Chain A
């Protein structure tokens, strides 16, 4: 004899400690079991795409900082790559290496934050967050050395980077890169075999491989489901084909795999950094690009492997100083398409941590 129950709608509203920003979910619950999830976004919509149509190509770079504000320089990187593809600009070698160094350090920073807050959602009371923040603070000091900013860097320019790195940057970076493997091992040792973490995340909220491909998931979410697709290897941009690194791929596609893939990617980023620092040449850091760039008529889609997935910029030019159409392909909005599939049948607690494992950033979703 079953008890008659009635599902109720819980609004995990825009203000919630664990929704990683202003994100709203209307969750239909039957007791503790999730029956339906409807994400509602748009609380951070600032109209960046419309703003882009009335700004010059260089003026859009600070706008792109505000997309994924956790890893801002990768947004800059993707955008200037798209513009260089559109206008056919070549950039100097040193600039390419500096861009790679910045991109990979941003990847480590973003993944550390993602793992830290994933564990915070699990209930570990900020302890993993603060351990990972130690290293991230040193990284933010490095960025401050280079461009004076800790959050929205505005460092990349069309044709290179805005200025060369100061002399104290390289020794500090080398010291940080030398220490990182030990710290990543420390996090791994503290976390990966933790009983409660394994019980809460193994086999929970699985994203099957075919669904992941069909919804065009990208980044760690796709790789955790067993698809070996990383734009740095599949469609190498900048000078990624000169470096030697592996791509970690998960097996099942549960929350634990998404966490594990990010941890391993941080290790691989350290490998790339060591090689980039060793091969860094001297030279200019910025190509000679006109102040008000007028690319030829046409369109281009430039995409990179951002820490959260495939970040793409679609630019249409009509030979004026501002783009005719400026579209951003947000990785996390598209990864969110699968939230309902993953979560139905599990409990409220699993909903929160699955959402944390997708690692959204609202600036990117809402633009």
Chain B
């Protein structure tokens, strides 16, 4: 059975290695500030006890005050999983660091989030629209589109 790691526990481990990176943590997930997202992701991948080598899902949710990008991470070796979240504010061009260099599965999923939600991923090699055609104006999955 894949154990879903408790957010508070992992938050403590992360804070020991990278202080001031965790914004909040509850029993389900860890929320990380977007500036330190890349270092936290690297830490989660490279630490042997955590060893999150599989990014199962990358998605974004539009709570009207902020956007929340959600990452579901799994470790195939230890068979545990974690939900990592980060937030970005602003409706114009909210930015989040791209995790393509750590997990390549983020490649197409970040393009889809950019396409449908309008979140810009900093450092993505090919940030073009995926599902809609180039030249489409607007980001349909936002709550205030239509």
**Which A residues are closer than 8 A to B by beta carbons?**
41-42, 45, 47, 49-50, 211, 213-216, 227, 229, 234-236, 298-299, 301, 303, 310, 312, 314, 316, 324-325, 327, 329, 333-334, 336-337, 366-367
5 more A-B residue pairs beyond the given contacts A211-B104, A234-B79, A314-B59, with a C-beta to C-beta distance below 8 A: A49-B141, A216-B55, A324-B61, A325-B62, A337-B108
CB-nearest residue of chain A to B53:
A213
Pull 21 A–B residue pairs with CB atoms less than 8 Å apart, ordered by A.
Answer: A41-B130, A42-B132, A47-B140, A50-B140, A214-B53, A214-B103, A214-B105, A216-B55, A216-B103, A235-B2, A236-B1, A298-B28, A299-B28, A301-B57, A314-B57, A327-B59, A329-B59, A334-B109, A336-B108, A337-B105, A366-B131
Assuming the contacts A42-B131, A236-B1, asked whether A214 and B104 have C-beta atoms less than 8 A apart, the reply is: yes
A residues near B141, Cβ cutoff 8 Å: 49-50
Q: Is the CB of A49 within 8 A of B130?
A: no
Kindly identify, within residues 132 to 146 of chain B, every residue whose CB is under 8 Å from any CB belonging to chain A: 132-133, 140-141
Q: Is B56 among interface residues, defined by CB-CB distance under 8 A?
A: yes
Q: Is B107 among interface residues, defined by CB-CB distance under 8 A?
A: yes
A residues near B70, Cβ cutoff 8 Å: 314
CB distance from A225 to the nearest CB of B (A): 12
A residues near B133, Cβ cutoff 8 Å: 42
A residues near B10, Cβ cutoff 8 Å: none
B residues near A314, Cβ cutoff 8 Å: 57, 59, 70, 72
Contact of B2 among A45, A216, A234, A334 (CB under 8 A): A234
CB-nearest residue of chain B to A338:
B104
CB distance from A211 to the nearest CB of B (A): 8
B81-120: contact bitstring with A at CB < 8 Å (1 yes, 0 no)?
A: 0010000000000000000000111011100100010000
